[in-house]
Amino acid sequence: MPWCTYLAFDIIGDLAFGAPFGMVERGRDECESILPGQPVTYVPGAETLNRRGEVSSTIGLLPAIRPYAKHLPDPFFSKGLQSVANLHGMAVAAVDKRLAAAEKGLTGDSQRHDILEMLCRAKDSDGRPMPRDELISEALTQLIAGSDTVSNTANRHPPLQAELDAAIPADAPTAEHQQVKNLPFLRRCIDEGMRLHSTSALGLPRIVTAPQGVTYGEHRFPPGTVLSVPSFTIHHDEEVWGADVEEFKPDRWLEATPRQRMGFNPFSYGPRACVGQNVALMELALIVGTAFHRYDFRVYQPRLRSHEGFSKKPVECWLGIRLRRRVGENV
């Protein structure tokens, strides 16, 4: 499982900051972090992100404890709050490194436009560039959204490999987005994987703003009420999905009902929905497409156990992996 996280971190590093974090190359969980008044240190990026998500979701559900959290004896809070600081430090390090490279003219390919470069070039209505603090805030958003929520699902269905074999050349080391972005069975597998293993463990809260409130069945919620329903609960509702709700069935999406399509919300809804959902879907198509084109997988556990913080993460995933073909060879 760590390698999936390393890959997600490196992808968002390359996309957002112009260079990967180097986790895949080094084979370990390590990122630069800069805390106020301290030299550059190295922190475990994935562990930092996980702990930050756990403590942030806990304090978010119990906001009254926020002023006292750092004084509580349970190390869950002290370690979690330190992870919040370390994660901010990771964003600071990424921004500082990129700004320093830009000043020295070392940004590399001038034709490449990553997210941080576009933010650096952005101007407000008065022609002023984005302040450094805002750049760091945006970088933090990219880190959280891009590296913490991309999941992978092992699929045992031969039709997926047949579809990928027809779309991707046998000698291609990796899939290209143009080759996989419109593959219907691949997309059904991805959607079914996100339904069964919802990325977000918590329902993102929404405030009832309608003056007349909201009525659902026998329940009425007045204005100002905070409502939250976890995606997992909706995605595993037998009344919505049927008796086979716990089965991985990609073809259920061929005849999905309007109620099912409305209930499928892996990225949430509305103006506060996941801003990176298109990037996530692109990553999933490329990663799953490349992996299942090159390898055969066998699952060695009947159910996937998970740990919940802000995100729902697998505890472990036992897989057998066998090379299907060597790059440059037809077999």
Distances (CA, A) of 173 to 57, 99, 294: 39, 33, 8
68 DSSP assignment: G
Six token digits for residue 37:
């008044």
For the chain, the first-to-last Cα distance in angstroms comes to: 29
Q: Residues 112, 116, 122, CA angle at the centre, nearest 5°?
A: 100
Residue 123's beta-bridge partner residues? 129
CB crowding 239-273: b at 16 or more within 10 Å, else e:
eebeeebeebbbebbeebeeebeebbbbbeeeeee
**pLDDT computed for residue 269 by the predictor:** 81
CB crowding 166-183: b at 16 or more within 10 Å, else e:
ebbeeeeeebeeebbbeb
CA 153 – CA 87 distance, rounded (Å):
27
Six token digits for residue 261:
């399509």
Residues of the chain with CATH 1.10.630.10: 158-203+229-323
**pLDDT computed for residue 150 by the predictor:** 47
Per residue of the chain (331 residues), give pLDDT as tens: 678 888 888 888 888 777 788 889 989 888 889 888 888 889 988 888 888 888 888 888 788 998 999 899 999 999 999 998 998 898 888 888 877 776 776 555 555 577 777 887 888 788 888 888 888 887 777 777 666 554 333 335 688 989 999 999 988 889 999 999 999 999 999 999 999 988 876 777 889 999 999 998 899 999 999 988 888 899 999 999 999 999 999 999 999 999 999 999 888 887 778 878 888 899 999 999 999 998 888 878 777 787 777 777 777 778 888 888 544 555 4
Q: Are 115 and 16 in contact (CB under 8 A)?
A: yes
**pLDDT computed for residue 154 by the predictor:** 38
**pLDDT computed for residue 262 by the predictor:** 92
Nearest to 300 by CA among 314, 284, 318: 318
CA 84 – CA 35 distance, rounded (Å):
11
38 DSSP assignment: S
**pLDDT computed for residue 325 by the predictor:** 59
Pairing of strands 214-216, 41-43: unpaired
R_g over Cα of the chain: 22
Residue 31 marked as a ligand binder: no
CATH of 158-203+229-323, one of 1.10.1040.10, 3.40.1120.10, 1.10.630.10, 1.10.10.10: 1.10.630.10
Phi–psi pair at 83, nearest 5 degrees: -65, -35
CA 101 – CA 80 distance, rounded (Å):
32
CA 247 – CA 273 distance, rounded (Å):
27
Distances (CA, A) of 204 to 61, 62, 207, 231, 270: 10, 14, 10, 9, 11
